[in-house]
Amino acid sequence: MKEERPPDKGIFVYALPRDRHNPRGRYNPYDLQVVSAQEARELPMYFTASATSVTLVSICIVQVELVNAMNHIYFKLSECT
């Protein structure tokens, strides 16, 4: 018998690890605390949770020059095929 998931209406919350302020706290991605969107988005890593999933969002800042170089290499390689 297949368990049915609740319908996902696109509503979600932002969350952060509960022990984030404790320097001795262990990282536990299963012990999350709901926070405001502003608090979560100020950090380079946060979670979102909806009725059907929990997602880890990790923001990485990349220099424009590196992206341009990678694009150039990608398009040069794609011309070879």
How confident is the model over 47-71, as pLDDT tens digits?
A: 999 988 899 999 887 788 888 888 8
Least confident window among 2-6, 27-31, 68-72: 2-6
Domain that holds residue 71: 12-79
Residue 38 inside a domain? The answer is: yes
pLDDT at residue 81, as a whole number:
65
In the chain, how many domains are there? Answer: 1
Residue 16 inside a domain? The answer is: yes
Residue 1 inside a domain? The answer is: no
Token pair for 51: 């009725």
pLDDT at residue 10, as a whole number:
85
**Closest-CA residue to 20 (of 30, 37, 10, 33):** 33
Residue 4 inside a domain? The answer is: no
pLDDT at residue 46, as a whole number:
96
**Closest-CA residue to 32 (of 44, 48, 43):** 48
CA angle 24–26–32, rounded 5-degree value: 120
Residue 7 inside a domain? The answer is: no
